[in-house]
């Protein structure tokens, strides 16, 4: 059993005191429950303690020759509607979320379905840094050094069957700790779901991230594990993942369900297909200043031309 008694957990220097406290409370209250669920599939349900990353070798990322967005911008300007719709809300409220323990449920077209503790899910997987452009559908962008590993490495562990044509990812639904999910004015159908075609998920550029800027992911950036698909608009890169489902048919994705004329399934970055709200021909690249919004041209597939072959024969204007 890998769940340690709460007293053994040391607060990390990046975890605010309040988070640490609520985490301990959660551990105490739900520890037995989580342990029960964990024994069911024979694995533990421990999230990622700070020491976990420190004990790992991380292959350094290759510089891309573009200015990195500052860590403070990337961790204080977020779209994570589970915590509120203002860009500053996630940084303000995401500390209310308990990310330890964390389990991921892998279901659907796999030979080895089951719930698995995050640390077990990541055992034996090599971490590397990836410096990626992140392009939001709202026409702003950042350059962020993620720490993660290719999606396909984890999917492989569960042995997808030949029927697995798509992958669905689901964000945690826990209104008690995610105030955006409690909002009376929200019209989003929680939990947040996103999906990829199997060949997209298996592309070496598609990663799961567990860290950024050399540290574990902060909650507001999707701790403890999130998707990063750099050639697609940011809303595809689903955060705080608790369920991965391999499917025969194309999964729904939250924004597409909400506004199908605005958000498609593919959501590939494409300067030639405008969104009804934003022209996609250009983007504001962080850092920006008041009188210089730092607008730069948007590139097809966000500059990741190597994915183009995934879409030969697909009309990207119709499948936006």
Partner 1 sequence: MIPTTRLGIARLGVFCLLALPLVLLGVDVWREVAQPGSAFGPDPTEEVLHYLGQWGIRILLLTLAVSPASRLLRKPQLVRFRRMVGLWAFSYIVLHFAAFLLSQAGNSFETILAVTLAKVRFAVVGFYALVMLIPLAITSTRGWQRRLGPGWRKLHRLVYPAAFAAWIHLVWLSKGDFMDPLIYGLVLVLLFGERIVFRIRKERRAAAANAA
**Window of 124-132, 145-153, 244-252, 284-292 that interacts with partner 1 by CB under 8 A:** 284-292
Please tell me whether residue 261 binds partner 1 under the rule CB under 8 A.
no
Which residue, chain included where needed, has tokens 């573009």?
A: 66
Torsion of CA 114, 119, 121, 124, to 10 degrees: -150
Please measure the distance between the N-terminal and C-terminal CA atoms of the chain and give it in whole angstroms.
46
- In whole angstroms, how far apart are CA 45 and each of 29, 40, 106, 116? 14, 11, 14, 7
| DSSP label at residue 181 | H
Instruction: Figure out which of the listed residues 50, 58, 131, 281 binds partner 1, where binding follows CB under 8 A.
Output: 281
Q: Could you tell me if 115 and 37 are in contact, meaning their C-beta atoms sit under 8 angstroms apart?
A: yes
Does residue 260 interact with partner 1 by CB under 8 A? no
What's the rounded Cα separation, in Å, for the pair 49 and 31?
Answer: 16
- The answer to whether residue 76 forms part of the interface with partner 1 (CB under 8 A) is yes
By CB under 8 A, tell whether 30 contacts partner 1.
no
Closest listed residue to residue 34, CA positions, set 103, 104, 107? 103
Residue 141 · residue 285 · CB < 8 Å? yes
Verify binding: residue 276, partner 1, rule CB under 8 A.
Answer: yes
The stretch near partner 1 (CB under 8 A) out of 85-93, 127-135, 157-165, 245-253 is 85-93
Footprint (CB under 8 A) of partner 1, residues 175-194:
183, 185-188
Nearest CB to partner 1, comparing residues 64 and 281: 281
Q: Nearer to partner 1 by C-beta: 144 or 167?
A: 144
Applying CB under 8 A, the residues found at the interface with partner 1 are 72-73, 76-77, 81, 85, 87-88, 140, 183, 185-188, 258-259, 274, 276-279, 281-282, 284, 286-296
């Amino acid at each position: 059993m890998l769940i340690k008694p709460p007293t053994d957990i040391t607060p990390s220097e990046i975890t605010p005191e309040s988070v640490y406290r609520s985490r301990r409370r959660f551990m105490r209250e739900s520890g037995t429950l989580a342990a029960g669920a964990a024994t069911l599939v024979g694995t533990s349900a421990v999230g990622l303690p700070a020491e976990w990353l420190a004990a790992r070798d991380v292959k350094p990322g290759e510089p891309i020759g573009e200015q990195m967005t500052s860590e403070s911008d990337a961790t204080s300007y977020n779209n994570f509607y589970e915590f509120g719709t203002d860009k500053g809300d996630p940084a303000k409220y995401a500390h209310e979320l308990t990310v330890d323990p964390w389990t991921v449920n892998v279901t659907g077209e796999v030979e080895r379905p089951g719930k698995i503790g995050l640390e077990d899910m990541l055992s034996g997987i090599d971490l590397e840094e990836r410096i990626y452009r992140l392009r939001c559908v709202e026409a702003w962008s950042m350059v962020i050094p993620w720490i993660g590993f290719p999606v396909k490495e984890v999917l492989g562990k569960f042995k997808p069957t030949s029927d697995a044509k798509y992958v669905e990812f689901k964000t945690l639904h826990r209104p008690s700790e995610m105030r955006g999910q409690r909002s009376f004015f929200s019209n989003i159908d929680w939990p947040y779901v996103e999906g990829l075609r199997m060949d997209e998920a298996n592309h070496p550029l598609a990663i799961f991230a567990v860290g950024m800027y050399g540290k574990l992911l902060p909650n507001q950036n999707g701790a403890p594990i999130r998707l990063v698909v750099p050639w697609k608009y940011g809303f595809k890169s689903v955060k705080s993942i608790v369920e991965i489902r391999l499917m025969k048919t194309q999964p729904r994705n939250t924004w597409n369900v909400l506004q199908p004329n605005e958000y498609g399934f593919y959501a590939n970055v494409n300067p030639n297909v405008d969104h009804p709200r934003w022209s996609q021909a250009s983007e504001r690249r962080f850092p920006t200043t008041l009188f210089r919004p730092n607008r730069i041209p948007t590139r097809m597939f966000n500059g990741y031309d190597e994915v183009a072959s995934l879409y030969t024969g697909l009309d990207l204007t119709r499948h936006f």
